[in-house]
A and B are shown apart, each in its own frame.
Chain A
Amino acid sequence: MADMIVAENLAYWYGELVAVDHVSFNVAEGEILGFLGPNGAGKTTAVKMLTGLMRPKAGKAVVLGLDMAKNTEKVQGEMGVCFESANLYEQMSALENLKLFARLFGIDGFDPYALLKRVGLDGREKDRVETYSKGMKQRLMVARSIINRPKVLFLDEPTAGLDPSSSESILEIIREERERGATVLLTTHDMEEADKLSDRVAFMNKGKIAALDTPHNLKQQYGKRALKARVAVAGGKLEDREVVMDTPETAKAIQELFAREKVVTVHSEEATLEDIFIKITGRGLTG
């Protein structure tokens, strides 16, 4: 499949501070790439260069096979961007917001009601956005980003701070967009969300890509699987035991655990993306 997003040695710096340090990666057609990293890692600056909001100081951003710096207008007509903080016209209704952007994209015969229904905002179409909850605004942001049925979708923390229900409805829309054929670059702090949605994840740290692979491969490479057991000991107390999986001694260790201890509960445990991120970068995603 063709690469829809390509970062070639992309770099940006603010004076002495290097925000993005010669980063290279690609996102294939129909793929969801999770872009993970703590605040200040350079994710937003990288996305701004890929969406044409900023010119790279070095390197090249290629989207839909076109150099973004030379074809900004053409590429932007085919992409959608959802920002982390809601930047909607709050004194206008959802309907007016969508109609405005439909005009900017030159879309004829646009049905804003259908799109608002899809994101669960039917019935509130004509209310001013300033009266919406955070979750409703975020759903409207997502609706705005897919108004032109984009080939490439950039989503920056689309579910940050939302309740599980709003969050799930947004994740469902992202899945639907992928099924439609859209390529998605998903920037997020939420490793669980990235794990569920992403075909591959990129760990960004201090302006560089620290690791890039499928969540499964990263877990295989950097994580350890374990069997966690809770056992009853003298005096009725409970204690935890751990058996590392995938070693030659695993089978024997499990057998001994059940023979020697009074096992109350047992479950398997996999490393999370956050565990792996910490292992690779030495810092947490929220740091």
Chain B
Amino acid sequence: MKWSIIGAIVSKDLSLYFRNKFIAVITVLGIAAFLVIYLVMPGTASVTDVGLYAPVVPPAFAEEDNEHIVFVMVDSEAALREAVAGSDYSVGVALPADIMEKFARGEKPDVKIYSSPETTEEARELFRNFVKGLAFEQTGQLASFNETEIVLGTDLLGQDIPLRERMRPLFAVMLLMIEMFGLANLITVEVERRTVQGLLVTPMRVRELFAAKGISGIILSFVPAALFMAVVGGLNSQPLVILAAMLLGAIMVTGISFLVASLSNDFMSIIGWVFVVLIIMVIPAVGIMMPGTITGWAKAIPSYYLVLPVHQAAHYGSGWGDVWQYLLALAGFDLAFIGLGIMALRRKFQ
């Protein structure tokens, strides 16, 4: 590899990229638009009302002062079920009438937790732990009640995180992906205007051309997304994990751009292909940001392995040990897309 040649092509590509007014404008506007959307979104977490039926209210429940969860008393267990089923409350907790007596005797009272069908396992676990925490406060013992029934309910786990922060990884992924327009266009123009022939009769090798295009693509997709995350505080938790995931994401975007460029003859066809890819790639992002909206099939979409580690690292502080398997899968997709993209483009260059 001759790095001076690769450097010359990368610097030419970056220069041409920003001389294309349309591409330059959508890049800058893209960052600005996502920043504006981020800033106008609610900056605080929403409050979840939890229905509580309790003939006798234990002091720990009565004194509970969680800023995100407010207990609303209902008159009967039947009314509680009806309210949860009607989505008046995301979750309902029914305590038995003899709860204090059982606590006093050291026995475990039966507690029922109701929720609506869309609730994820994560959300159910959250409320189970929340009620266990209150029971612990009351008795000083762990696992001090019998959880007798759980009715599935809506996403509550995510509601602990302000909406705009939940959307942050989605915006970053969108910024990564949107650069497919620019990179695919740079390559397509190079082929259609036959400038690539001019390059290929110099001492530059095809592999150096691919390396240059790859580096240009990674820079163009990674830098805006990383800048966005830095500006909105998305790198405050586990920055290296997030940056690594986004770098792998930028490589994947570059590979997909190679494929799009190999299928396109002009900017209109690029727009068509990129929109198809964008729609598919955004599905896992929506699903991860809003649990319960998609099912397991989304794991077959490569962007799932990009959004998930970014989401978990940014919101739950997940480290390398928690997300390595997702990053590994993403690296596998990178290899596949880059390999396929190079094969397809090589045919086009010839």
- Partner-B contacts on A (CB < 8 A): 51-54, 72-74, 76-77, 79, 81, 83, 85, 87-92, 96, 100-101, 103-106, 144
Specify which chain B residues have a CB less than 8 angstroms from the CB of A81 in the assembled complex.
198, 201
Interface pair B16/A91, CB less than 8 Å apart: yes
Name the A residues within 8 Å of B203 (CB-CB).
73-74, 76-77, 104-106
Give which listed residue, B19, B20, B198, B350, contacts A144 with CB less than 8 A.
B198
Q: Does B5 contact A (CB under 8 A)?
A: yes
B72 interface residue, CB < 8 Å from A? no
Q: How far is the CA of A91 from the CA of B190 in the complex (A)?
A: 12
Residues of A within 8 A of B20 (CB): 91
- Determine how close the nearest CB of chain B comes to the CB of A272; give it in whole angstroms: 32
Contact in complex: A105, B201 (CB < 8 Å): no
Say which size band chain B's interface belongs to: 20 to 34
Interface contact B12-A53, CB-CB below 8 Å: no
Query: What are the residues of chain A within 8 A of B2 when measuring CB–CB?
Result: 106
Q: Give complex CA distance A51, B198 in Å.
A: 11
**20 further interface pairs, Cβ-Cβ under 8 Å (given A83-B197, A87-B197):** A53-B350, A74-B203, A76-B201, A77-B202, A79-B201, A81-B198, A87-B198, A88-B195, A89-B195, A90-B193, A92-B12, A92-B16, A96-B15, A100-B8, A100-B12, A101-B202, A103-B4, A106-B2, A106-B4, A144-B198
Q: Decide if B201 touches A52 in the complex (CB within 8 Å).
A: yes
Query: Do the beta carbons of B202 and A105 come within 8 Å of each other?
Result: yes
Which chain B positions have C-beta within 8 A of A101?
A: 198, 202
Q: Tell me the nearest residue of chain A to B202, going by C-beta.
A: A104
| Closest CB in chain A relative to B236 CB, distance in Å | 40
B102 at the interface (CB under 8 A from A): no
Chain B: CB-nearest residue to A75? B203
Specify which of B195, B197, B201, B204 lies most central, judged by the most chain A CB atoms within 10 Å of its CB: B201
B residues near A89, Cβ cutoff 8 Å: 12, 16, 195
A73 vs B5: C-alpha distance in the bound complex, in angstroms? 13
Q: Once the chains are docked, how many angstroms separate the CA of A53 from the CA of B200?
A: 7
Residues in chain B near residue A52, CB distance under 8 A: 200-201
Q: Quick one: given A53-B200, A77-B203, A87-B197, are A103 and B16 in contact (CB under 8 Å)?
A: no
Asked if B70 CB lies within 8 Å of chain A CBs, one says: no
Residues of B within 8 A of A105 (CB): 202-203
Instruction: Give the CA-CA distance A83 to B205 in the complex, in Å.
Output: 19
Let me know if A103 and B5 touch, CB within 8 A. Answer: yes
Residues of the A chain whose Cβ atoms lie less than 8 Å from the Cβ of B32: none
- Closest chain-A Cβ to B123's Cβ sits at a distance in Å of 53
In the complex, 19 of the A-B residue pairs with CB atoms within 8 angstroms, ordered by the A residue number, are A51-B201, A53-B201, A54-B350, A72-B205, A73-B203, A73-B205, A76-B203, A83-B194, A85-B194, A87-B193, A87-B197, A87-B198, A88-B198, A89-B195, A91-B16, A96-B15, A103-B7, A104-B5, A106-B203
Is B232 in contact with chain A by the CB < 8 A criterion? no
Q: Does B294 contact A (CB under 8 A)?
A: no
User: Smallest distance from the beta carbon of B24 to chain A beta carbons, Å?
Assistant: 11
Contact B194 A87 (CB under 8 A): yes
Across the interface, name the chain A residue whose C-beta is closest to B16.
A91
When C-beta atoms are compared, the residue in chain A nearest to B199 turns out to be A104
The interface residues of chain B lying within 8 Å CB-to-CB of A83 are 194, 197-198
B197 near A104: Cβ-Cβ < 8 Å: no
Q: Which residues of B contact A88 (CB under 8 A)?
A: 195, 198
Contacts of B8 in A (CB 8 A): 100, 103-104
Closest to B2 in A: A106
Q: How far is the CA of A183 from the CA of B202 in the complex (A)?
A: 17
Alpha-carbon separation in the docked complex, A101 to B4 (Å): 12
Q: Which residues of A lie under 8 Å from residue B12 when comparing CB positions?
A: 89, 92, 100
A91 and B201 within 8 A (CB): no
For residue A146, give the distance in angstroms from its CB to the closest CB of chain B: 13
Interface residues of B in 1-32 (CB under 8 A from A): 2, 4-5, 7-8, 12, 15-16, 19-20
Q: Is the CB of A91 within 8 A of B202?
A: no
Residues in chain B near residue A76, CB distance under 8 A: 201-203
Contacts of B350 in A (CB 8 A): 53-54
Chain B residues positioned under 8 Å from A96 (CB to CB): 15
Contacts A54-B350, A103-B4, A104-B8 known; A91 to B19 CB distance under 8 Å? Answer: yes
Nearest to B21 among chain A residues (CB) is: A91
Q: How far is the CB of B96 from chain A (nearest CB, A)?
A: 76
Q: How far is the CA of A220 from the CA of B349 in the complex (A)?
A: 44
Considering the chains assembled together, what is the distance between the CA atoms of A73 and B197 in angstroms? 14
CB nearest to A154 among chain B residues:
B201
